[in-house]
Structure 1
Amino acid sequence: MDHSEEEINSMDFPIVALDSNVHNRHHHSLSLVHLQQPNLKNENADDDDEDEVEGEVDFVEEDRQCNLCKEQIWSFHLCYYSCKSCDYSLHKFCAELPNTITNHPLHPDHTMVLKYSYGFCRCIICNLKRENYLYHCEVCNYYIDIICFSMSEHKINHPSHDHQLERMYGQKDVLLCVACGYKHEGVFFQCTACPWFRINLYCAFLPTKLLIQNHTDGIFIHPHPLTLTYSFPYSEIEAKFYPLCRVCGDEFYSHLWIYKCDKCRYYVHFDCATSKREPFMSIFRHPGLGKTSKNFIEDEHPNLLHCPFQDEGDNLVKFHMSNRKELIRKHDDKMLNHFSHQHPLILFDTQSSVDKQTLSLHDPKKRIQLLCDGCVKPVTTLPFYMCCQFADGQCCFILHEWCAKLPSQVHDYVGHPEHTLSLIPKVSSKFFGVFHCPICDLPSNGFAYGCTTCEFYVDINCAFIPKDITHDAHPGHLLSIVNPAAKQSKGFCNACLLVMEDCKPGFHCPSCDFYFHVECALLLPKVIENKCDKHPLSLRYEPAQDHISEYFCEICEGELNPWKWFYHCTTCAQSMHAACMPLILQVQCEQATYKHYERCVYEFLNVKFGGTLEIKGHSHRLAFVQGRESDGECSECGDEMQYKMIFKCLECEFAVDYRCASRLVG
């Protein structure tokens, strides 16, 4: 219970006077211990050793408390007295406190005597009651505790600021710290020349080097030492494509301190790196990137799809049909009359049957492209169906075995639940069979599931989107399909960093507010091979380890944002835009470079180029290809044709884009 000042002055409570030499009151001798030692680099040490930096001061923090003032002994105190025989320590200035003092700056003109209070006296400076030693002025009946009395000894020269910092009075106040940007209780240091510069004691003594291999929530790890940096200039944030904290996923502010790696583009808030933040502050923080521990039980989700797919040979149709094997393999199906094609199809199920037809499977390293006419994905394995007239060069129709056995209808589809969707081998109402899938937002000329009543068509991969998936980019957490109408807010896709549109479904982790576009999650394989690199390239979700330099795409030679998903070879340190990668598989466009769009997915990933067309006013047939820079302008509208679907005459220089060609047919 607190008492008024008048009550305190009238009370009779024990006051114990000290001996003239405080530390002599201890029955053992005390030794002076130094807390800071210069850490000079060993001449024989490895130059690359980042743990030893020439000229740095090695701060030794010990869990020691002063037995006189009951406060922590910190490294900035430089030294302290310690008893070698028992657990007794004193600040140097506490040990040397005088028994009496006259004309102290905090109370001039009068003499004050050092006494002991059992918690009834209130310090005139900090207005706090402590069971502690204090100085008493009998003339004014003022009390100043020894912490406030010795405040002038609490000064630090901190590398974050040009001026000396002094400890502030009134340490129980909640104040804003310029280091972390949060309000704290506790001890603060302030610059007397710059009153706005104020840092909390904990922030002031963060380690300059830090490893988060094992102790950052026991989850987030990084193999290199992190360096404490006292600002993150906006120009650098902008140049690094606005990186986010690797632990919580929140943004950085240029004036706040961070930890960063000198070998990688690894940045983290210092309270995230140290796992020390005040619990009440969690309500103001970003929900974070989530923990690696599972938040679901595998047995409750049979046939759960784990993304990304391993390579280009895997896709949703294959995954869906692998769980319905009764529809696929019938050993007597060596010859198949499929409703999608006018000629019989032959099953190739052995390598010898392929060799006899002088046919090679899809192989980007050998510049061989073999795409299925159903799902428009590479044919990389046996078995598959091929038109019986393929060998004569008359018909190049090919189907995966699973695409040849697709169900005729899809019911209760998430994007169009009001009508049943039927399998359509070619959307005849669309020019050259090219329709725009509303789910992945990509053009396609493969098979579709559609509702002719509503003119609603989706490519066959998007027709089998599962309700739940997991993804390596957000490990351990279940991602659920979100219907556009049920979305609570507009999030950002963590792959391409674009906003999640209300008209399209996506995948969402509700515990972390983590989003993926459907196409980003399902259409980018984990590993991809190309003729430009002798090693496979892996899909990356963040900057590569041991790669601090700028990123440039090897295909389009444009700058690459490593916070958007991209492909990278760690052996050769080569990187490529995810949207540029499939371009190297387009044999007809191998000389072209792809325009860097904001999206991660290649625009014509679901388009199988090839085939010819006759149009009015031109005597030759036109081939369906992707435009290159050398194709120049459209002969009809004059627009550039690079990066577009075009129809090109192989006998002359005539070429038109897709839109103009659709008007010239008929």
Structure 2
Amino acid sequence: MDIIPVTRDEIDHFGHPHPLSIVYLQQPNQKNENSEDEDEDTEKDEDDFVEEDHHGGQCNLCKERIWSFHLCYYQCKSCDYSLHKFCAELPETLVNHPSHPNHNLFFGRFYPPGVNCHVCNTELKSNRFYYCSVCDIFMDITCATMPKQKINHPSHPHLLERMPGSIVSSCLACGNKHEGVFFQCTTCPGFRISQDCALLPAKLLIQNHTDGTFTHSHPLTLAYSFSFLDQRSALFLVCRACGQYFKSHLRTYKCDKCRYYVHVDCATSKKEPFMSIFQHESLGETSKNFKDDEHPNLLHCPFNDEGDNLLKRHMSNRKELIGKQNDGDTLNHFSHQHPLILFDKQTPVGITLHDPMKRVRLLCDGCVKPIITVPFYMCSEYVDGKCCFVLHEWCAKLPSEVQDCVGHPEHTLFLLPKISDRFFGVFTCTVCGLRSNGFAYGCTMCDFYVDINCAFIPEEITHEAHPNHLLLRVMPSPYNEMHLFCKACNDYKWRRWGFHCPSCNFYIHAKCAFLLPKVIKHKCDQHPLSLRYHPAENHISEYFCEICENEFSPWKWFYHCTTCAQSMHAACVPNILQCEQGSFPYYGTLVNTFLNVKFGGMLEIKGHSHHLAFAQGFNSDGKCVKCHQEFEYDIIIKCLECEFAFHYKCASSFLS
């Protein structure tokens, strides 16, 4: 608690003709006798919070500001004249001053121009000073009052005293270097804070200090530390302005009503000019750095919904190719043994389009993405339940080869409906790193394969998470010093393609950019879920996934329903039929590991009399008969009639 010094209510000062009256900058809180009324008043005060600049103007003697931590000052009621308390108590003659103890110093009013103070060696900034007639030296008012300039600050238990002159030093409050006035502890010499941090308001509205670049509806409260235990319990939240982590011993601004935290420098936009090269990227507003007419086919992410994807956008620009290849309502496609029928006006009888709300799954065998609208192709044998092969119209008309594919420009890649030497056609895409059993573009000579979406990723995109800036396609490498953490999943994969903003150091994986739609539906919520890049505004409670029921950090992208205040892991949302059977792993990724895998195929093997299904594994499926490990979060082959099952990776033992 601040200690208000004992002072006289009124004094006469030799430098002013009128009496000066005491003015207190900080008054003790008036408590209401009725505790219930006190709580109501407190809540009302927070809602009606108006930020104020608490100071008493400029001291007419030393020409410095009278700040709130000075606690009180003297003011003339007759004219505009104010003095610090310690300036008002100065005598006309200083005897035995610590900075010049040998001779008396006399108060003076006029001096020749260009004279420096012998203590701080800066030019006198006021026409009031002290001088020694013996040594012919001058001392400004600030240095003369230095022994009296001590403050009680709530951030530290001991008295703080002002350090002489203007210095460059690290501040123990914010952790950054500052240039200017510092205060240090009289008991702990290592503790020092800058005047800027000593003046930080107890409460502020961040939009008032950042010109609206960052906004928050509630006032933020200054906290003098953010302990490691508190950070851990909050899942290590990051600053809402710069996206960087907090240090436990440094001050922060936090919202008392929701999970909103910012560094003090970020909240107040206090940045020293000589430190600007060390500033981190900002999460705030960005100015557009490209012209639309110079990028006519620029891809804007995220895609609208599950029915929109990179391949659909790419093929929409190839209508002339689709028209030439169109053979009417029937198509004989090289990937399938039966003719395919085009449904372009309505769905066939007995077939339901992909619908997460009704737990209906209909995935294209080419791109393994949902079929939610017409047109699409279906096997002519599908209606009899004999063959469940379906294709998007654009997947049925893909080019047979691609040149200069990302990651493998030296050879032509050919369209492959299945990788012949892979069991159930499962391969790992070189670009996104996800397993897939859909169509691929591949070079069998180099054993290089990409899924058909990743074969067409562009050189540049924009993304709503970092608007107005171009993101350039890159592959981070340990050899080119590009060690980048994805802003979506906070994971580091240096052998994965992604998109990077070089001016802001913003980076996201290609799979996070393309495989997470802007809006998605799930049966756990009646409303569409929106992709969120930061914690939701005014969301007070912790974040729990409605599907797997695990807590998660809102600094990894997630899906959220503002109406119901429900949230879900981005990796959990694609589960439609499996979600009741078990949770889904997070492991640093946002994208469901099996997003590009179509389950449901059947096979027979020697030595087992029942049919086996190609499926996603869960702990309820028991253990692998080969390696005896659990099945959860892996691809398995399981019997539909008994407990016989084995991992996909163990399949070679049963198929040889």
TM > 0.5: yes
Q: Match of 2:527, SS?
A: strand
| C-alpha contact (below 8 Å) 1:551/1:559 kept by paired residues | yes
Deviations 1:523-567 (A, max 9, x none): 111222111222222222222222243222222222312211222
Q: Does 1:151 align with 2:146?
A: yes
Contact 1:589 1:626 in 2 (8 A): no
Q: Which residue of 2 aligns with 1:14?
A: none
Say whether 1:455 aligns with 2:447: yes
**Cα shift at 1:101:** 4.6
CA deviation after TM superposition for structure 1 residue 276, in Å: 2.1
Output the CA distance in 1 between the equivalents of 2:288 and 2:208.
19
Q: What one-letter code is carried by the residue in structure 1 that aligns with 2:623? A: E
Contact 1:247 1:289 in 2 (8 A): yes
Return the letter of the residue paired with 1:624: F
1:312–1:378 Cα contact (<8 Å) kept: yes
Query: Are the structure 2 counterparts of residues 184 and 661 from structure 1 closer, same or farther at C-alpha, using a change threshold of 3 Å?
Result: closer
Q: Structure 1 residue 421: deviation in Å?
A: 0.9
Q: Is residue 37–residue 59 contact of structure 1 (8 Å, CA) maintained in 2?
A: no
In structure 2, what is the equivalent of residue 327 of structure 1? 321
Structure 1 position 634 matched with structure 2 position 627: no
Q: Where does 1:482-631 land on structure 2 (aligned, <5 Å)?
A: 482-483=474-475, 487-501=480-494, 503-583=495-575, 585=576, 587=577, 590-631=580-621
Given candidates 642, 645, 649, the residue that maps to 1:652 is 642
Report the CA distance shift for 1:106/1:551 in structure 2 as closer, same or farther (over 3 A).
Answer: same
* Residue of structure 2 equivalent to 1:274: 268
After superposition, give the CA deviation of every residue in 1:614-634 in whole Å (9 maximum; x if it has no partner).
112112221111112111111
1:387 equivalent in structure 2: 379
Paired with 2:480 and 2:44, the residues of 1 have a C-alpha distance of 50
Structure 2 counterpart SS, 1:478 = strand
CA RMSD of aligned residues (A): 2.8
Moved more, 471-480 or 245-254: 245-254
Equivalent pair of 1:210/1:225 in contact (CA under 8 Å): yes
1:634 match: secondary structure = coil
SS at match of 2:382: coil
Go from structure 1 to structure 2 and tell me whether the alpha carbon gap of 1:297 and 1:102 turns closer, same or farther (over 3 Å shift).
same
Gap change, CA 1:543 and 1:622, over 3 Å in 2:
same
* Counterpart selection for 1:441 from 421, 425, 433: 433
Q: Distance in 2 between matches of 1:161 and 1:622?
A: 69
CA deviation profile, 1:595-647 (whole Å, cap 9, x unmatched): 33221111111010012111121122211111121111112221212221111
- The alignment-based identity, stated in percent, is 64
Q: Describe the superposition over 1:297-326 as per-residue Cα deviations: whole angstroms up to 9, x where unpaired.
A: 121111211111121111111111112222
Q: Give the aligned partner of residue 194 of structure 1.
A: 188
- Is the partner of 1:222 in helix, strand or coil? coil
Contact 2:55 2:65 in 1 (8 A): no
8 Å Cα contact 1:38/1:58 also seen in 2: no
Letter matched to residue 322 of structure 1: S
CA offsets, 1:79-99, max 9 Å, x none?
Answer: 445567765443344345332
Are 1:22 and 1:96, in contact at CA under 8 Å, matched by a contact in 2? no
For 1:558 and 1:257, how far apart are their aligned partners in 2?
30
In 1: Cα distance, 2:377 partner to 2:187 partner:
81
What residue is the counterpart of 2:653 in the other structure?
Answer: 663
| TM-score of the superposed pair, with normalisation by structure 2 | 0.90
Q: How many corresponding residue pairs? A: 636
Contact 1:209 1:225 in 2 (8 A): yes
Aligned to 1:415: 407
- Structure 1 position 152, deviation (Å): 4.1
In 2, Cα distance between equivalents of 1:88 and 1:239: 52
Label 1:198 to 1:118 Cα distance change in 2 as closer, same or farther (>3 A). farther
**Aligned-partner SS, 1:273:** helix
Q: Does 1:167 align with 2:181?
A: no
Give the Cα separation in 1 of the matches to 2:356 and 2:214: 36
Q: Equivalent of 2:206, from 201, 207, 212?
A: 212
Cα separation, partners in 2 of 1:102 and 1:624, compared to 1, 3 Å: closer
Residues 434, 594 of structure 2: 8 Å contact kept: yes
Q: 1:649 to 1:161 in 2, by over 3 A?
A: same
Separation (CA, whole Å) in 1 of partners of 2:443 and 2:429 = 13
What do the CA deviations read for 1:367-421 (whole angstroms, capped 9, x no partner)? 1100000100000111111111111100111011111111111111121100111
Give the stretch that moved more between structures: 543-552 or 512-521.
543-552
The aligned counterpart of 1:9 is: none
User: How far apart, in 1, do the equivalents of 2:31 and 2:384 lie?
Assistant: 75
Pair 1:301-2:291 in alignment: no
Aligned counterparts of 1:257 and 1:394: Cα–Cα separation in 2: 67
Give the whole-Å Cα distance in 1 for the aligned partners of 2:180 and 2:13.
30
Q: Please give the residue correspondences for 1:367-378 in structure 2 after superposition, counting only pairs within 5 Å.
A: 367-378=359-370
When structure 1 is superposed on structure 2, of 646-655 and 322-331 the one drifting more is 322-331
Conserved in 1, the CA contact under 8 Å of 2:365 and 2:438? yes
Are the counterparts in 2 of residues 629 and 642 from structure 1 also a CA contact under 8 Å?
yes
Structure 1 residue 186: Cα displacement: 2.1
1:347 aligns with one of 325, 342, 353:
342
- Note if contact 2:516-2:591 (Cα within 8 Å) is conserved in structure 1: yes
Q: Which amino acid aligns with 1:567?
A: Y
Contact residue 39 and residue 57 of structure 1 kept, 8 A: no
CA distance in structure 2 between the aligned counterparts of 1:422 and 1:562, rounded to whole angstroms? 41
| 1:313 and 2:307 aligned | yes
- Conserved in 2, the CA contact under 8 Å of 1:227 and 1:259? yes
TM-score after normalising by structure 1: 0.89
3-state SS, counterpart of residue 241 of structure 1: coil
Structure-2 change in CA distance of 1:159 and 1:58 (3 Å): farther
Residue pair 2:545, 2:552 contacting (<8 A) in 1 also = yes
Residue in structure 2 matched with residue 246 of structure 1 by the alignment: 240
Runs of at least 5 residues in structure 1 that lack an aligned partner in the other structure? 1-19
Give the superposition deviation at 1:445: 0.7
Show structure 2 runs of 5+ residues with no match: 1-11
Distance 1:570 1:247 in 2: 22
Confirm or deny: 8 A CA contact 2:58 2:65 kept in the other structure. yes
- Farther off after superposition, 247-256 or 210-219: 210-219
CA distance in 1, matches of 2:216, 2:394: 43
Moved more, 488-497 or 567-576: 567-576
**1:511 counterpart SS class:** coil
Give the Cα–Cα distance (whole angstroms) in 2 for the partners of residues 413 and 394 of structure 1: 36
Distance 2:612 2:579 in 1: 16
Q: Secondary structure at the match of 1:637?
A: coil
Secondary structure in 1 aligned to 2:653? Answer: helix
2:520 is paired with a residue whose SS is strand
Counterpart of 1:69 (choices 59, 62, 68) is 62
- Would you say the 8 A contact 2:86–2:149 is kept in 1? no
Task: Indicate the larger mover: 372-381 or 84-93.
Answer: 84-93
Per mean C-alpha deviation after superposition, the further-off stretch among 220-229 and 233-242 is: 233-242
CA contact (8 A) 1:290 1:512 kept: no
Whole-Å Cα distance in 2 between the matches of residues 196 and 94 of structure 1?
28
The CA deviation at 1:41 is 7.2
Deviation at 1:338, TM superposition (A): 1.2
User: Residue 394 of structure 1 aligns to which amino acid in structure 2?
Assistant: K
Cα deviation, 1:188-240, whole Å, max 9, x if unaligned, reads: 22210111121111110111111123541542222221111111212222333
CA distance in 2, matches of 1:24, 1:567: 67
Please tell me the residue identity of whatever aligns with 2:455. A
